[in-house]
């Protein structure tokens, strides 16, 4: 059997065309630009014992949005909020209830953060809640954000408990 170049002209031409116009890779096609916003509370708002933290988010598939808070002068100590990752609806909106310390923290500034984390970190944060109450809610280090997702933070003022 003789090999004929004519039998591969169409595929070669097609490949050449596709390469010239550029075909996005599966990764590029499925990539979601990461965008996290906190819309409530606003910077400087007055808060009490607890309140809703909400906003919008577009995060990559397989990642999870968590809210954490802490008294601002406790820079390394953070507390996960909401008992689980935030549920992001079809419009990208999410809401989590956050606690703002104890009665002795009235008059202090609190920082609230929203961060996209990977599956392993999500599991660790969920596990923290299983024993947190009996251990008097020990703080954790701020979790690593997934690549390309910048955590957002808002500072508020605790004025009541």
> Tens of pLDDT along 110-138?
999 999 999 999 999 999 999 999 999 99
The answer to whether position 37 is within a domain reads yes
The answer to whether position 6 is within a domain reads no
The answer to whether position 152 is within a domain reads yes
The answer to whether position 5 is within a domain reads no
* pTM of structure: 0.80
CATH code at position 108: 2.60.40.10
Q: Quick check: 26 pLDDT over 60? A: no
How far is 125 from 143, CA to CA, in rounded Å? 9
> Tens of pLDDT along 64-113?
999 999 999 988 999 999 999 999 999 999 999 999 999 999 999 999 99
Domain enclosing residue 100, as ranges: 31-158
Indicate the number of domains in the chain: 1
The answer to whether position 52 is within a domain reads yes
The answer to whether position 77 is within a domain reads yes
The answer to whether position 132 is within a domain reads yes
How far is 46 from 159, CA to CA, in rounded Å? 6
- Cα 43 to chain centroid, rounded: 19
CA-wise closest residue to 32 among 55, 65, 59, 62? 59
- Cα 132 to chain centroid, rounded: 21
For residue 157, the surrounding DSSP H or E stretch is strand 152-158
């Amino acid at each position: 059997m003789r090999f004929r170049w004519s039998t591969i002209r169409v595929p070669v031409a097609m490949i050449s065309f596709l390469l010239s116009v550029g075909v996005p890779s599966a990764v590029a096609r499925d990539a979601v630009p990461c965008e996290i916003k906190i819309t409530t509370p606003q910077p400087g708002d007055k808060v009490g014992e607890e309140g809703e933290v909400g906003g919008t988010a577009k995060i990559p598939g397989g990642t999870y949005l968590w809210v954490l808070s802490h008294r601002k002068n406790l820079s390394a100590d953070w507390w996960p909020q909401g008992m689980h990752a935030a549920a992001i609806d079809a419009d990208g909106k999410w809401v989590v209830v956050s606690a703002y310390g104890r009665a002795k923290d009235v008059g202090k500034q609190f920082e609230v953060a929203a961060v996209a984390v990977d599956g392993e970190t999500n599991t660790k944060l969920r596990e923290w809640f299983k024993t947190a109450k009996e251990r008097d809610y020990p703080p954790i280090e701020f979790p690593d954000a997934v690549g390309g997702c910048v955590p957002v933070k808002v500072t508020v003022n605790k004025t009541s408990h």
